[in-house]
Amino acid sequence: MTLIKSISGIRGTIGGVAGDNLTPPDIVKFTVGYTRWLAEHNHKEHRRVVVGRDARISGDMVASLVKGTLMGCGVDVIDVGLCTTPGVELAVTTKRADGGIIITASHNPRQWNALKLLNDRGEFLSDADGHRVLELAEAGGAEFPDVDWLGHVVESGSFGEQHIDMVLALPLVDVEAVRARHFKAVVDPVNSVGALVIPRLLERMGVEVICLNSTPDGNFAHNPEPIAENLTQIMEAVRHHGADLGVVVDPDVDRLAFVCENGELFGEEYTLVSVADYVLSVTPGNTVSNLSSTRALRDVTERHGGSYSAAAVGEVNVVAEMKRTGAVIGGEGNGGVIYPALHYGRDALVGTALFMTLLARSGKRMTELRRSYPAYYIAKTKITLTPDMDVKSILAVMKDRYAGKGRITDIDGVKIDFPDSWVHMRSSNTEPIIRIYAESGDRRSAEKLAADFMAEIQSLRA
Give catalytic residues, as residue numbers. 106
Question: How many Å from the N-terminal Cα to the C-terminal Cα in the chain?
Answer: 22
241 to each of 185, 237, 249, 309, 369, how far by Cα in Å?
Answer: 9, 6, 19, 40, 21
Report in angstroms the alpha-carbon separations of 138 from 69, 102, 111.
16, 21, 25
Three-state DSSP class for residue 292: coil
Cβ contacts of 462 within 8 Å, gap of 6 or more: none
What is the distance, to the nearest Å, from the Cα of residue 137 to the centroid of all Cα atoms in its chain?
25
- The DSSP symbol for 217 reads S
The alpha carbon dihedral of 393, 399, 400, 402 has a sign of: positive
Instruction: Give the three-state DSSP class for 410.
Output: coil
What separation in angstroms does the CA of 123 have from each of 99, 253, 320, 449?
Answer: 9, 16, 10, 35
Crossing angle of helices 160-168 and 348-362, rounded to 10°: 40
